[in-house]
Amino acid sequence: MVSPTTVQGVAAVPAKKQHTVFELYRYHFAAGATGLSLSYSCMHPLDTIKTRIQADPTHSWRKIFTRETVRSLGKGFFVSALGAAGQGGARFSTYEFCKSQLVPSGDGNKKKYAIPATALSAVLGDLASSVIKVPREVVTAKLQTDHYAGRSTASYVVRQTIKEDGLKGLFRGFWAIAARDSPFMVILLVSYENFKAFHHRSVRKDWIERMQHQHRVVAHAAYEEWEADIPTMRSVLYGGVSGFLAGYFTTPMDVLRTRMITEKKQQHGSSSASALQVAKTMYKRVNGMPVELYREFFAGALPRSFWWFGICGIFFPTYETLKSLMY
């Protein structure tokens, strides 16, 4: 962590190195790509279990925890890891750029507009990554659930999907994924940014009090932009908790997305069901009973939430460390 210095008894904030917009975009792309690819790679087996739970309408544990599930744990690994790199790079470079433009450094209203600026930037960043994210999820989900029994290569899944539904088949469930991930990213990044802000305020307050105790002059306004590095374990906790909350509350749209992607095409060639049609079918299956409705729409909620705890607990420390190294 870069600490403030003192000059003739006056506390001074070290000057930040200036970077061009392109340099920052490139740094954030590299950090986002590396962090998300690493975290998805580590948590892929749990994602496979979560997907198989959501794809099975009966929610039978005997059907899910089978030898076939064990054999499927590694399916879609390389597609997921490579796709996550492009997805993470596009998402977080766009997010950081939008946030810096909406709330420029040194803006007196920075705190006032921090939450709406973060929320809007999160949505824009997610939309920017959707071109990579949606095909990655479609291919990975089909591999994880053995959609094409006996044919488990990514290239075969891509060819067969295009053959059945055309190029749009790779973007099946696009709006369900957007409806899931936009609120997800808002919850995730607003929570994480607030955890970070709390940490920075605490560190600044402690340091200023220590300087005043030593009878050194401290210009409080000069420290408003000073951000202390976050310890690794604290970053794991902040990111993990934010990911858990975001993952849990957006589970219903993730269930719809999984059902839409893994649904077998009807024999008579009818078009693929929409998110609304899938939701109506799920509602009718349980006759609107509250407890069963919860089980239906929150299928795999805990595996998904713990998966996101792991993803974000790995991603954010990696992302923050890479940013600090490149800056």
Higher pLDDT, 165 or 72: 165
Q: For residue 229, give the 3-state DSSP assignment.
A: coil
- Cα four-point dihedral sign 104, 106, 111, 113: negative
Helices (DSSP H) in 274-300: which residue ranges? 275-285, 290-297
- What is the three-state SS of 246-315? HHHHCHHHHHHHHHHHHCCCCCCCCCCCCHHHHHHHHHHHCCCCHHHHHHHHCCCHHHHHHHHHHHHHHH
User: What's the rounded Cα separation, in Å, for the pair 252 and 296?
Assistant: 8
For residue 64, pLDDT beyond 90: no
Q: What pLDDT digit, counting tens, does each position of 26-40 carry?
A: 999 999 999 999 999
pLDDT in tens, 144-174: 777 777 666 888 889 888 998 888 889 887 8
Type of residue found at 204: R
pLDDT tens digits for range 198-257: 888 888 778 777 776 766 655 554 455 556 678 889 999 999 999 999 999 999 988 887
Residues 304 and 82: their CA atoms lie apart, in Å, by 21
